[in-house]
Amino acid sequence: MDRNYLVNFDTRQLPQEEWEYVIIGSGIAGLYSAYIASGYEGKAVVLTKHTVLDSNTDKAQGGIAAALDIADSPDLHLEDTLAAGAGLCDYEAVNILVNEGPQRVAELINLGARFDQDNGRLLLGKEGAHSRRRILHAAGDATGAEIQRVLTRQALDNPLIDVRESHFVVDLLIKENICYGVLAYDRQSEQLKVFWSKTVILASGGVGQLYKHNTNPEVATGDGIAIAYRAGVEVMDMEFIQFHPTVLNLPEAPRFLISEAARGEGAYLLNRHGDRFMTRYHQMAELAPRDIVVRAILQEMKETESSEVYLDLSPLGDEKIDRRFPNISGTCSSYGLDIKKDPIPVAPAAHYMMGGVKTNLYGETSISGLYACGEVACQGVHGANRLASNSLLDGIVFGQRIIEHKLSIPDSHKHVPITQRFFYNDIEVCQENDFEDLRRSIQSTMEMFVGPVRTGAGLLKALDVFEIMEDPGKNPSVKWNEMEVCNMLQVAQLITEAALMRTESRGGHFRQDFPDSLKRWRKHIILKRG
């Protein structure tokens, strides 16, 4: 799709507001950024397209990683993150993450986050590719929901933060490499609005809904990446999608994440014959990096002619299952599975975007005044394969750095009325389109050709399908969910193009026709419109 905006508009004819900070997204990255800004008396509006609780943060089970134990250290956390990242992590970004992370986690605790403890001591879990126990968790396997609760409460109670639900951000307002604000669609009043600001923060989350099978909420459609790319912002590492190895696979049930913490506590993966197989694929067995576990599962499924493998939690014992995994136990029980004795049928599903909007170590993008943090952003901290439970940490560490860096710029918050005019009138109605059919076609195409195992021929087929979809995409999108589908198509093309360009296998990107990792490919693919 090659156009500047999704809709025709003229800012002079629209309701307008001016804010010190406009923050797009209400997960951990967006709400924590708003919280830090409010601590410096900064007024922020948080725009979220559904409710404040609709985010990947709320669904996160396993926990948040931080080197807090006496047997652990930031250096060990750094080593584990670099190893998982398969040679593409930015060393300085990871160093910042692991060293500033403990302070940010302490701040969450000060805000009231109730992480699991035993006699006043934090209980720390272990997950894949971690060499130490360093995963803080809450209510066993509801860590994200606890963090979301705390940050949502502080945002809604804070007079300096205004959370606007049902506000779908359509496009960025950028001129001469400066971001002046955003164009948004208010779903309740069904009208376009303008939010002017000298500081716009993208914290809109991931892309899981591009795939038919995924662990993400319905809001995760890659909107932030799409609006940034349309505006001429650089995006990076788009080929690196992380597929979670263990997602509930029952015909009658929606896809539901079975936390990696289960394997960290001692659960085994079994094939359809009841044989434990991960010991044949990696020395860390069930705790190998996620990309390795995913491909091992796919191989076992192929060899045993099965649509799933099984996760056996019985070695943990009933008491630990009750204490550590009440959410998973309850969900499985609603579908007739007793995880204390019944192995859980699981299969891989799309989970996390390692790439995204390219930023520096302060969240700055290639456009002045536009920042990004959380899953939508890519500063190289996750490399080609994210280390488990580093995602929540990423959001708060770099959200804090954005605000502190912005405040270090002289006169960065002197309020100057915005007099810029933005307008667009180049879209003509060509035909009626079935956008829901387009959505399903995007998801099935990504599932078939741009999944955990890829080939050049398959990627070319996907691009051909997407090119055919582009003609309907040229029509004006008058409803927010139609705009959402246009964003999905844009991001699907970017992922597929980058995957076709990278003629090797590394981390979350595996090419069957180029199965080796190559030294000459220890570099990033950066895409920019035009």
Nearest by Cα to 352 from 223, 508, 174 = 508
CA distance 101 to 280: 35
Nearest by Cα to 442 from 487, 500, 377 = 487
Nearest by Cα to 491 from 469, 521, 514, 513 = 469
Nearest by Cα to 147 from 18, 28, 321 = 28
Query: Any idea which residue has 């959001």 for tokens?
Result: 395
DSSP code for 138: S
Q: How far is CA 17 from the centre of its chain?
A: 29
**Helices (H) then strands (E): counts for the chain:** 14, 24
Return the HEC string of 206-233. CCHHHCCCECCCCCCCCHHHHHHHHCCC
**CA distances (Å), 43 to each of 34, 138, 198, 278, 371, in order?**
8, 30, 12, 51, 16
Let me know: does 197 contact 370? Beta carbons within 8 Å: no
User: What DSSP line would sit under 471-525, residue for residue?
Assistant: HHHTS---SHHHHHHHHHHHHHHHHHHHHHH--S-BTTB-BTTB-S--GGG-S--
In this structure, the chain runs to a length of 530
Q: If phi over 0 gives left and psi between -120 and 50 gives alpha, with beta otherwise, what is residue 76?
A: alpha
Q: What sign has the CA pseudo-torsion 503, 508, 510, 515? A: positive
* CA atoms within 13 A of residue 77's CA, in its CB half-sphere: 30
Beta strand ranges found along 224-313 (DSSP E): 235-236, 241-248, 268-270, 309-312
DSSP code for 289: -
Which of 230, 255, 290, 502 does the annotation list as catalytic? 290
CA distance 187 to 50: 9
290 belongs to the catalytic site: yes
Q: How much is the CA Rg of the chain, to the nearest whole Å?
A: 22
β 167-175/526-527 pair status: unpaired
CA distance 153 to 111: 10
Q: What angle do CA 182, 183, 184 make, to 5 degrees?
A: 110
Catalytic residue set:
290
